Chain A
């Protein structure tokens, strides 16, 4: 710097700082698309509605079975379970099984104890519910 005027050093330094700041902001914008991508992929991959639908079918099935005699109940339960298992495997690539026991008297109301199992290789879910 010999012989040069050094009055402009602050301006150069500030220019550098602003440039670095802009670079990091650009980096954040660049990453936001990536974050949206991975989040959306996770949401699409997670079988939220499959599991919810299955749970809701258990509830419906109990409604169908409730008025039937116990012999008919087990026949209907078996065919419905076979259908749901086969369709889940074929169309949703998921292993699904469930069992119903009951009715049990819980505080004066008859409930069926439902255990169901869901596994699509990525997500495994087990639940015991009373309907």
Chain B
């Protein structure tokens, strides 16, 4: 004969079992707790933003024309590059401008010594080294050495890699 007088005890047993399983689950997971602020989501968004800004600057305004990025590198106009890059990145619709900082460096291959060298491209913001910065880069091919560039940059079709470090300050 079925007797239902033990129902509440059964439920209590089930509840206690669940509590034990949940406790074990949390204990085993304590090594991998992520908080939203700890994730790389903001880094990913910043990298995409900076990468898009560089791609936009590397696009000529008319068919066959020179792109702004190409022109800035050719004339070694780091200040102009910086202004345009930050303008492209900082603009927000309906809010105050984003607080972005950047630091641009141009890398090139010293063909006579077979070495990779670099020179600073324009004014750079001072980084403390603790910022969560992302790096984006873009190739620039020139026909001759840029006017203010170091003499070790080849004068015959040099390839330059523009690297920009971007961080929120």
* Cβ A57 vs Cβ B139 within 8 A: yes
Instruction: Give the residue of A20, A50, A61 whose beta carbon is less than 8 angstroms from that of B141.
Output: A61
CB of B159 within 8 A of CB of A87, answer yes
- One of B18, B138, B139 near A84 (C-beta < 8 A): B139
B34 touches A57 (CB 8 A): no
Cα distance, A9 to B22, chains bound together (Å): 24
Q: B41 to A36, Cβ gap below 8 A?
A: yes
Residue of B nearest to A77 (CB): B157
Q: A-B contact count, CB below 8 Å?
A: 99
A76 on the B face (CB < 8 A): yes
How many chain A residues touch B (CB < 8 A): the figure is 37
Q: Residues of A at under 8 Å CB distance from B?
A: 1-2, 6, 9, 12-13, 16, 20, 23, 33-34, 36-37, 40-41, 43-44, 49-50, 53-54, 56-57, 60-61, 64, 76, 79-80, 82-84, 86-87, 90-92
Given contacts A36-B41, A56-B139, 15 further A-B contacts (CB under 8 A): A6-B8, A13-B11, A33-B36, A37-B39, A44-B44, A49-B51, A57-B141, A61-B141, A83-B109, A83-B158, A84-B139, A87-B107, A87-B108, A87-B109, A87-B159
Instruction: Please name all residues of chain B whose beta carbon is closer than 8 Å to the beta carbon of A90 when the two chains form the complex.
Output: 107, 116
Q: Check A44/B47 contact, CB under 8 A, given A2-B5, A23-B22.
A: yes
Is B137 interfacial (CB 8 A cutoff)?
A: yes
**Given A64-B141, A91-B107: A37 touches B5 (CB 8 Å cut-off):** no
- Contact among A13, A43, A91 with B137 in the assembled complex (CB-CB below 8 Å): A91
Instruction: Known contacts A53-B139, A64-B141; decide if A9 and B40 are in contact (CB<8 Å).
Output: no
User: Which residues of A lie under 8 Å from residue B139 when comparing CB positions?
Assistant: 53-54, 56-57, 84
B6 within 8 A of partner (CB): yes
Q: Does B84 contact A (CB under 8 A)?
A: no
Whether B43 sits at the interface, judged by CB under 8 Å, is yes
Question: B1-27: which have CB < 8 Å to A?
Answer: 4-9, 11, 14-15, 18, 22
The 6 lowest CB-CB distance pairs between A and B, nearest first, are A83-B159, A40-B40, A1-B5, A37-B39, A90-B116, A40-B44
Q: Which residues of A contact B43 (CB under 8 A)?
A: 40, 44
Contact of A33 among B34, B108, B116, B136 (CB under 8 A): B34
